[in-house]
Structure 1
Amino acid sequence: MISDLAAVKAHLNITDDADDDLITAKIETAESWIALYVGKDLADYDPLPPEIGEAIRQLVAALYEDREGAEPFPKGVHDLLAAHRAWGF
């Protein structure tokens, strides 16, 4: 896991530990999806670009708040990741 649980919880404005396991799972899902989207393992970034960190936090927030998957994907995430996406044909 690349993202810091405490930083993600601060973004979500969560101060207790009740959902730590759930949030950790959402972080892992978001990081995996973003790595696939940009075409690069996030561990290969040194340091992690701030746009990718923000995309992770936004995606985790969306996954956490909408656990049923009814809401559309956060539009800003694609914009934050655009410059880091590896294109191939």
Structure 2
Amino acid sequence: MALTTDDLKNQINMGTDGGDAIDAAVLPTVLAAATRHVENFIGYALDDSEKLPEGAPADLEHAVLMIAAHWYEERETVLVGVSGQEIPFGASQILGEYREYSYGG
């Protein structure tokens, strides 16, 4: 998987020349955390050539960027006074298509 902080900057409409020192520190961390979260959720690494012989598909990369952008924008654990709803066909639905399930055994 070859997502970069520039990809994330584009996702959050920052532009590749935008940001400051805080963004320079936060963006790579958020992108790495989102990548790890997706890998843990689906049960394998995004660079696993057995599971993804052609590399990570665009929808999985998009899910990583969606999660990373959300985590960048919402850095706190609680939102107060905000009403929200998960976007249909968002990251959870994309990841569900790739998740490996195992049952006791």
- Shorter-chain TM-score bucket reads 0.7 to 0.9
| Aligned counterparts of 2:77 and 2:60: Cα–Cα separation in 1 | 22
Instruction: Write out aligned runs for 1:49-68 (5 A).
Output: 49-68=57-76
Q: Does the 8 Å contact 2:46/2:56 carry over to 1?
A: yes
| Aligned counterparts of 2:56 and 2:4: Cα–Cα separation in 1 | 12
Deviations 1:28-85 (A, max 9, x none): 100011000000011113321111111111101110010002258x551110111110
- Does residue 36 (structure 1) correspond to residue 40 (structure 2)? The answer is yes
Q: Does the 8 Å contact 2:46/2:55 carry over to 1?
A: no
| 2:9 paired residue number | 9
Kindly indicate which of the two structures has a greater share of residues assigned to helix.
Answer: 1
Structure 2 gaps, min length 5: none
Normalised by the size of structure 2, how large is the TM-score?
0.75
Runs of 4+ in 1 over 4 A off after TM superposition: none
| Aligned counterparts of 2:73 and 2:13: Cα–Cα separation in 1 | 12
| 1:84 paired residue number | 98
| Aligned counterparts of 1:70 and 1:62: Cα–Cα separation in 2 | 13
**% same residue:** 20
Q: Does the 8 Å contact 1:39/1:86 carry over to 2?
A: yes
| Aligned counterparts of 1:48 and 1:17: Cα–Cα separation in 2 | 27
Bigger Rg, structure 1 or 2: 2
Structure 1 gaps, min length 5: none
